[in-house]
Amino acid sequence: MRTPLLALLAAALSFACGKSSAPLGAASDAAARVYIAPGQYDELYAFMSGGFSGNVTVYGLPSGRLLQQIPVFSQYPEKGYGYSEQSKALLNTSYGFIPWDDVHHPQLSMTDGMADGRWLFVNGNNTPRIARLDLTRFETEEIIEIPNAAGGHGSPYLTQNSEYAVSATRFAVPTPQADVPIKTGKFGGMLSFVKLDSVSGHMSLAFQILVPGYDYDLARAGKGPSHGWSFFSTYNTEEAKTLLEMNASQKDKDYIAAVNWKQAEACVAEGKGKAWSTPYAHNWIGEGGVAKSEMLRSQKVILPVDCPGIVYFIPTPKSPHGADVDPTGEYIVGGGKLATVIPVHSFTKLLKAIADRAYDGEVGGIPVLKYEAVNVCEVQNPGLGPLHTEFDDKGFAYTSVFISSEVVKWSIKECKVVDRVPTYYSIGHLMIPGGDTRKPYGKYMLALNKITKDRYLPTGPELTQSGQLYDISGDKMKLLLDFPMTGEPHYAQALPAAVLKDKSQKAYVLAENKDPYVTRSEKDVKVARQGTKVHVSMTAIRSHFLPDNIEGIQVGDSVFFHVTNLEQDWDVPHGFAMMGAGNSELLIMPGQTRTLVWVPQRPGIYPFYCTDFCSALHQEMQGYMRVSAKGSSVPLVWNGGAGTLK
């Protein structure tokens, strides 16, 4: 009886693992490698772009457990982000309130070329913006709009010591904007450098470089010997404006733009930047945790012809997507999605080519370097559609290959493919923890896949996208884990949990709450009318609100619920929701104040309640508001504090 039973079990396990399941022993080993026992922590925090969700997700690796979702550019009703009065201003732009964007590339702040865990920066691709997230609270702290640009895709890649975050124009447009015919109008591109304060992380637009009207895709900063330079991939050097899939693929080579940003700094200091005045928004969390917004109009724009030596074009085959710099800072790797090779350029050869004036013409005052003068080798047989490259700590590079759905591992020294593994399916970016730093952590590689088709249970026309975690500690890459992800994961960053774990803030100190409507104790609760505005200064604590009975509200009033969570214990948030409110709930962390605005539409008795399960008496955490007709003589009364309603 044993043999049939074991055979049946093996067959069931094989079926459960899918059509191409690994042998049982290998599957068991993979499962053991990613298993994190209940109550234990993962090795790594991984920050994933949410793509069209507009937000960032946080996963633990190697388990693949979803830990948190951080709202950035999109309103997020679960947390009240973009709905509460304290957070709305973060989403202001020169086009007005924009409650969505397309997040592609997270980038951890760096010190000496290593992730330091202070901040995470992410880009908004649609309305060009850069956001800074505080990693003690896992919250969005600041957003700056990028003027004179359309499509902030090549962003927000940081320089070696977080001097700058960059942003490159994806879509060429008239620069500055103008009403011109699409076919004949002159379009331009812009490379933007946003200065980061070394202590606060505060962002300010330092300068922009006007470049030819190509599509600028991705970027990386130099490190070590190439510190002071940034490298931007660009395609559509044909400057096509229609049917780009055909018309932007005519040339054998496009470019990687090599930018000497230290030289650009000197040009600006010498007064060579031109003053432009395109409006753009800058938003940040101010004192008291309340978002502030300002509209700015001043930029310094450098024309390469006015400042020779700041930009050089490196010919790179064909329609390059990635422009990645190895840990030594010596090699710049192109990822030409229509190329049959992976080109590897040398920074040393780049400097020599510049010194020797090994040029093959110029474009818009930008010298075009000779390909052979900069290129050190071409990796043969990389597969179909190489895109992005990251690096381990053993001298190997890993390149994602979209069309043939695989990752190729190749030796930087020998310029030769040494291993390849399939991905499921159509991999875009890949991520090695620390793979963009001077000292990668190695051990794992994460493939970020666009198509999942038969990998998971079907969920209608829309299917989840996926991450696949590989062990890269040995000679051969081995698949460990396949897990679904939220939104559209483009790129990711990861760092050891030990860097962040003990810095995580557990609560807001109530005594330090500087919100203008904070209520620090129940004796201070109140309700005040200012014309048609009614301000309710409310407290929340397990398991009641105060006041929880309010009368004297009239139809058409704007009722501001300023709710302060009096708890000071970790992981005891309170929620607040009002029947008929035209926005979202509030989610209020311990010691924090959040504000919801409600405009009652008709008379009646309206309940409000706590939405976050906080105690055994959570269901009892509720209250009522009486709404009377407009002009009613019902007095404004409430219970608690100085209220007279008993």
Measured at the CA of 106, the angle between CA 101 and CA 108, to 5 degrees, comes to 145
Q: So what's the pLDDT on residue 479?
A: 97
Q: Is the predicted pLDDT of residue 499 greater than 60, yes or no?
A: yes
Q: Is the predicted pLDDT of residue 525 greater than 60, yes or no?
A: yes
Domain around 156: 72-213+273-306
pLDDT in tens, 390-407: 999 999 999 999 999 999
Domain end among 306, 330, 360: 306
pLDDT in tens, 324-351: 999 999 999 999 999 999 999 999 999 9
Q: Is residue 365 part of a domain?
A: no
Q: Is residue 350 part of a domain?
A: no
Q: 478: how many CB neighbours lie within 10 A of its CB? A: 16
Q: Which amino acid is at 573?
A: P
Q: Residue 24: which pLDDT band, with cuts at 50, 70 and 90?
A: low
CA 28 distance to own-chain centroid? 34
Q: Residue 287: which pLDDT band, with cuts at 50, 70 and 90?
A: confident
Q: Is the predicted pLDDT of residue 107 greater than 50, yes or no?
A: yes
Q: So what's the pLDDT on residue 646?
A: 81
Mean pLDDT of 566-589: 96
Q: Is residue 288 part of a domain?
A: yes
Q: Is the predicted pLDDT of residue 84 greater than 70, yes or no?
A: yes
Beta strands in 450-600 (DSSP E): 465-471, 478-485, 492-496, 526-530, 533-541, 544-546, 549-554, 558-565, 574-578, 586-588, 593-598
Angle between helices 24-34 and 2-16 (to 10 degrees): 60
CATH number at residue 625: 2.60.40.420
Q: Which of 24-33, 170-179, 480-489 has the lowest mean pLDDT?
A: 24-33
pLDDT in tens, 229-281: 999 999 999 999 999 999 999 999 999 999 999 999 999 999 999 999 999 99
Hey, what long-range contacts does 87-90 have (CB within 8 A, 24 or more apart)?
87/291, 88/291, 89/283, 89/291, 89/292, 89/293, 90/140, 90/143, 90/283, 90/284, 90/285, 90/291, 90/293
CATH number at residue 124: 2.130.10.10
Q: Is residue 609 part of a domain?
A: yes
Q: Is the predicted pLDDT of residue 18 greater than 80, yes or no?
A: no
Q: So what's the pLDDT on residue 69?
A: 97
pLDDT in tens, 163-179: 999 999 999 999 999 99
Q: So what's the pLDDT on residue 23?
A: 59
Q: So what's the pLDDT on residue 268?
A: 97
Q: What percentage of the chain has pLDDT greater than the value 70? A: 96
Q: Is the predicted pLDDT of residue 11 greater than 80, yes or no?
A: no
State how far the alpha carbon of 578 is from the alpha carbons of 141, 466, 480, in Å: 27, 37, 46
Mean pLDDT of 23-35: 81
Domain end among 290, 306, 322: 306
pLDDT in tens, 420-476: 999 999 999 999 999 999 999 989 999 999 999 899 999 999 999 999 999 999 999
Domain end among 259, 290, 306: 306
Q: What percentage of the chain has pLDDT greater than the value 90? A: 93
pLDDT in tens, 442-452: 899 999 999 99
Q: Which amino acid is at 411?
A: S
Q: Is residue 205 part of a domain?
A: yes
Q: Is residue 471 part of a domain?
A: no
Count of the separate structural domains present in the chain: 2
Q: Is residue 3 part of a domain?
A: no
Cα Rg, the chain, nearest whole Å: 28
Q: Is residue 125 part of a domain?
A: yes
- Mean pLDDT across the chain, nearest whole number? 94
Q: Residue 569: which pLDDT band, with cuts at 50, 70 and 90?
A: very high
